[in-house]
Structure 1
Amino acid sequence: MTVMSAHLVRLNDALLVRGGTQIFSDLSLTVEGGQRLAIIGPNGVGKTSLSMVLSGRLRLSKGEIELLGHDVRRTDIRTLRPKIGYFSDELAPRLGPEMTALQAVALGRYSGLRSEWFSLTPADLLEADRLLQLVELSDARDRTLESLSSGQRQRVLLARAFCGTPQLTVLDEPTSHLDLVARELMIVALERILGEHHRDGALIMVAHHLEDLPSSITHVLVLAQERHWFGPIDEVLTAQTLTEAYQHPIEVHSLAGRRIATAKTHPA
């Protein structure tokens, strides 16, 4: 295993091609410990694919990537995955429906999908219990995943992504498919985990809407079809940048420490 740098993530001149289609190119960024990076942009620009690259689940077609200081091209990625938390909707159907919420969270430490494949320790279960408290699901610890509402399951998956206190956690649209109240519960749960359980770790979060972002986001990557913008949130998340990225007039507003974007109606 080759150690390269102290950055938790370093991407340089990255190119990704899938099925003969170029997903993104010439993409460079770095993420340090404690930073909170949001990835936003129009549909179809490769946000989910990038989240898979940054969590070690998809390899670049060309370019350099270091995760947790290791050159991925010269590293067995399986050795890094326990240190990289991951949230994606595609995980839910892969977890056994009879699994309890407590088991599902505790297995996050091992990126495990089946409870019978692992021997969970008292320490594993204690941390899982703590995370379920942070997402306000302590009373659901012994309930099966299939008995939970979709919003509750997503909060279980959120807690799972932080089990084992990973150095880097990648969340792919954790608020997708949630109603207004469930979305707010998810964001509050995420803020609580970041403040009480994951202060020094880095976060990368893919989102469709600005209002899905917690107020603690520090940096933003805006992806568009032929270019991208990366930097501190106040410099990047502007009406001008979003208007260029979406090729449509966008306004950005602040409310209670969070941002909201609205698409303006074109003049008749």
Structure 2
Amino acid sequence: MNAPTDTALIRMENAQLVRGETTVFSGLRATVHTSQRLAILGPNGIGKTSLAMVLAGRLRLSRGTLELLGIDVRNTDIRALRPKIGYFSDELITRLSPDMTALEVVALGKFSGLRSEWFKLDDDDHAEANHLLTLVGLANFGRRTLDSLSTGQRQRVMLARAFSGTPRLTVLDEPTSHLDLVAREQMIEALERILDEHHQDGALVMVAHHLEDLPPSITHALLMSESGQWYGSSDDVLTSETLTQAFDHPIEVHNLAGRRIATALRTN
């Protein structure tokens, strides 16, 4: 099932997802190659999390074309793709036993594993997990259980898990949600270290609520809204004009120390 190295890791055209009688999204397109980093943004309820689940092989499209890691998902069991794609979501945290150690949680990410007793971890698995915990600033937390960690620490453990096994594609669904200002910055710094030192040749997809949640290295963006969709380079998409159209509200985008900041303007 291995794809050629020059193949796009995501190729999506005219993607549509229908749940019951509700169309969650439609007409989406995006192509992500090695080393590219795609941000997905848009108003609440527009389908960003559902799209992340599709791109991580957790959910099937209703219509359209989707290739993941060079494989047409219409012709394969998507469950076989899941261990090949790193994934972060709040829902995943709730499925892990709270008495698992941080080291176990990270090491099992290589297998998309939820229970340590289902897998035999070797020295290499432990070494990589320890390395990833170091990159996210938790070098001495390997033996700590999930329920003994703060929210920010747990989310950094889950971030490390998403890169276990050095997947070619990693999908992060709002990794900075529920975090205070300092914890959010720690999370973004941890992500940048992993991308720089552990994932240089991999592709990243990151769903975010705010521009401030994005690392500076984002290269492309997909902006979803009721009034349209915009896809392209981050410099072309993440602009005051485009965000104003997407949110139907005046928004100004500024750059500060390499990071984008968006401000919703008062209308009276």
Tell me the TM-score normalized by structure 2: 0.97
Structure 1 residues 45-54 or 16-25, which shifts more? Answer: 16-25
The Cα of 1:2 is off from its aligned counterpart by 9.8
Partner of 1:167: 168
Deviation at 1:3?
A: 6.2
Structure 2 distance, partners of 1:99, 1:3, is: 34
Conserved 8 A contact 2:227-2:245: no
* CA spacing shift, 1:96–1:2, aligned 2, 3 Å: closer
Range with bigger deviation, 220-229 or 49-58: 220-229
2:236 corresponds in structure 1 to 235
Matches within 5 A, 1:127-166: 127-166=128-167
Please tell me whether the aligned partners of residues 41 and 222 of structure 2 are also in contact (alpha carbons under 8 angstroms): yes
Work out the CA distance in 1 between the residues paired with 2:197 and 2:59.
30
2:178 matched to which residue of 1?
177
1:1-268 equivalences in 2 (<5 Å): 6-267=7-268
Count of paired positions = 267
C-alpha distance in structure 2 between counterparts of 1:250 and 1:178, whole Å: 23
Alignment RMSD, CA only? 1.3
TM-score (norm 1): 0.97
Runs (4+) off by over 2 Å: 1-5
AA aligned to 2:183 is A
Are residues 16 and 141 of structure 1, via their aligned partners in 2, closer, same or farther at CA, if it must alter by over 3 Å?
same
Report the alpha carbon displacement of residue 77 of structure 1 after superposing the two structures with TM: 1.5
d(CA) in 1 for partners of 2:225, 2:53 = 18
CA deviation string 1:17-62 (max 9, x = no partner): 1121111111111000000000011111100000000001010010
**AA matched with 1:201:** G
Counterpart CA distance in 1 for 2:117 and 2:267 is 57
C-alpha separation between the residues in 1 aligned to 2:255 and 2:156?
Answer: 26
What amino acid does structure 2 have at the position aligned with 1:168?
L
Contact map agreement 2:11 2:67 (CA 8 A) in 1: yes
Q: Distance in 1 between matches of 2:53 and 2:35?
A: 20
Cα distance in 2 for residues equivalent to 1:39 and 1:119? 36
**Structure 2, unaligned stretches of length 5 or more?**
none
CA distance in 1, matches of 2:110, 2:20: 32
Q: Percent identity?
A: 68
Q: Is the 8 A contact 1:2 1:74 kept in 2?
A: no
